[in-house]
Structure 1
Amino acid sequence: MANPTDDVLTIGAHSSFGKHEDRAYARGTCPSCGALQFIVIAVTKNRDRIWLRCISCKLAIAVNEGIASPAQKPLRVPAGLPGEEAKVWDEIRECLGVGAYTAAVMLCRKLLMHVAVAHGLPAKDGKDRAPNFTQCVDHLVVEGIVTKRMEPWIDRIREVGNEANHEISPVGKDAALDVATFTQKLLELAYEMDDTMVKADPNPEDATEDSTDETGAIGEPVRSINI
């Protein structure tokens, strides 16, 4: 029986490769801290299996035939999100990253309804009933968070969300990303704009310039990996 490590090259090991070689580094985006470079800890000889470690946060990543684990979370985190909203948005991005598209859409729909309540819509009516999706959308329009021009996107969430909730019909990647992208914009309008205004510095000459180079201290690697 073949040894499972027979075809594995490891950094610093005999007859493998050293940390000063170009092939010891790879470029991608860390799913944990967003850093752009990795050190290659080990790789199979045909390069279909790679073990990486983030140079910044030390996260370990396995790449099997081009599929990385943990997966990169798409989209971004709007500034100013309260704790609960931030947790749900992070879960939505995680769902997208691992291909759980139906779950991502259902959470987007739920988050939209939560944003409406957080911006003044009563959580219960006189009959102790929670608002439905249409009532939440109408409230967001009245409050000016969602404009008339954005209503077609709301319809998109309603359409895809209804399919996810009432039918056993998996949501595809494109539809899920459509819904999530709009949800990100909604969060930016509902929270990020106000947060930006609050943090605006009236004395910009006193602001400390961020001189961090996002490419890191190590030179340009020779290989890019989708992470």
Structure 2
Amino acid sequence: MATPFDDVSVFETVNRYGKSSEEAYAMGDCPNCAAHQFVVIAMTSSRDRAWLRCMNCKLAVVSNGGVASPAVKPLRVPSGMPEDESEVWGEIRECLGVGAYTAAVMLCRKLLMHIAVAHGLPAKDGKDRAPNFAQCVDHLVAEGVVTKRMEPWIERIREVGNEANHEIAPVGRESALDVATFTQKLLELAYEMDDTMARTQPLQ
């Protein structure tokens, strides 16, 4: 009778494979630590399914037809971010990694508005209403967090975000990465530059 293990080779448990076998190792990008080499724990005979472990951080990764889980998260984490912003940025990167591009763009838009409030824009006006996107952008420019030259990029977030907000129109990978790349730059300007300066030793 067939079993779920018939086409699976588990390394170190069958005579065919061992630690010195080429098949026991694989190259790729670790989604956790960005190392590039994995130990193959097991794989199917067709080699389209594999269970891997990063040789550096020991994270377990599953590859199904060349699609890894957990996915590699693009972009980077700017330093100096408060916890709330850091958590949202982490979620944006996770969305990009798994192809949830519309969700990533909506979170980028929300994060931009949150940064404006964190930099002095009142969370509510006299009518108990939250600021709109344009007010947030104006505040970021007025406070010098972003410059006039960066406004076209903010407009890009607004345009793509509006499409995602008001229409059933999926956002593509390129547009999502455009928006997320600018959002990363905004986080660097809003938090990382101050954090870097605070850690820099004064000139002697």
TM-score category by the smaller chain?
over 0.9
- Which letter does structure 1 place at the counterpart of 2:144? G
2: distance between equivalents of 1:164 and 1:60? Answer: 34
Q: How far 1:143 sits from its partner (Å)? A: 1.3
1:10: Cα distance to partner?
Answer: 1.7
Q: Secondary structure at the match of 2:52?
A: strand
Comparing 99-108 and 38-47, the one that deviates more: 38-47
1:217 alignment counterpart: none
Give the C-alpha shift of residue 150 in structure 1: 1.1
Gap change, CA 1:16 and 1:9, over 3 Å in 2:
farther
Residue of structure 1 in register with 2:90 after alignment: 90
Amino acid at match of 1:26: A
Deviation at 1:27? 2.1
Residue of structure 1 in register with 2:111 after alignment: 111
Counterpart of 2:16 in structure 1 is: 16
Say if 1:11 and 1:40, in contact at 8 Å, map to a contact too.
yes
Deviation at 1:57, TM superposition (A): 2.6
Runs of 5+ in structure 1 lacking a partner?
205-227
> What is the CA distance between 1:95 and its match in structure 2?
0.7
- The CA deviation at 1:61 is 0.9
How do 1:110-149 residues align onto structure 2 when only pairs under 5 Å count?
Answer: 110-149=110-149
Is the 1:29–1:35 Cα contact (8 Å) retained in structure 2? yes
For residues 55-108 of structure 1, the C-alpha deviation after alignment (integer angstroms, 9 at most, x for no partner) is 233221110111011111111100111100000000001111111111111100
Deviation readout 1:122-180 (Å, 9 max, x if unpaired) = 11112221110000001111111111111111111000000111111111111111111
Q: 1:10·1:16 contact (CA, 8 Å) conserved in 2?
A: no
TM-score (norm 1): 0.85
Give the whole-Å Cα distance in 1 for the aligned partners of 2:187 and 2:143: 14
Match of 2:188 in 1: 188
> Secondary structure of the equivalent of 2:107?
helix
Q: CA deviation at 1:54?
A: 1.5
Between the aligned partners of 1:186 and 1:26, the Cα distance in structure 2 is 36
Give the letter for the 1:51 counterpart.
Answer: W
Structure 2: state its 5+ residue gaps.
Answer: none
Supply the distance in 2 between the matched residues of 1:85 and 1:154 (Cα, whole angstroms): 18
Higher mean displacement: 164-173 or 80-89: 164-173
Deviation of the 1:203 alpha carbon: 7.8
Q: For residue 197 of structure 1, what is the aligned residue in structure 2?
A: 197
Corresponding residue SS for 1:197? helix
* 1:65 pairs with 2:60: no
Sequence identity of aligned pairs in percent?
73
Per the alignment, residue 78 of structure 1 pairs with 78
Which of structure 1's runs of 4+ aligned residues deviate more than 4 A? none
Tell me which residue corresponds to 1:172. Answer: 172
**Partners of 2:128 and 2:8 in 1: how far apart?**
62
User: Which residue identity lines up with residue 64 of structure 1 in the other structure?
Assistant: N
| Residue identity opposite 2:190 in structure 1 | A
Deviation per residue, 1:20-62 (Å, 9 max, x gap): 2333122222212333321110112221111101123322111
Amino acid at match of 1:2: A
**Deviation digits for residues 180-223 of structure 1 (CA, Å, limit 9, x no counterpart):** 1110010011101111001113489xxxxxxxxxxxxxxxxxxx
Q: CA deviation at 1:120?
A: 1.0
User: What is the DSSP-based 3-state SS (H/G/I as helix, E as strand, rest coil) of the residue aligned with 1:185?
Assistant: helix
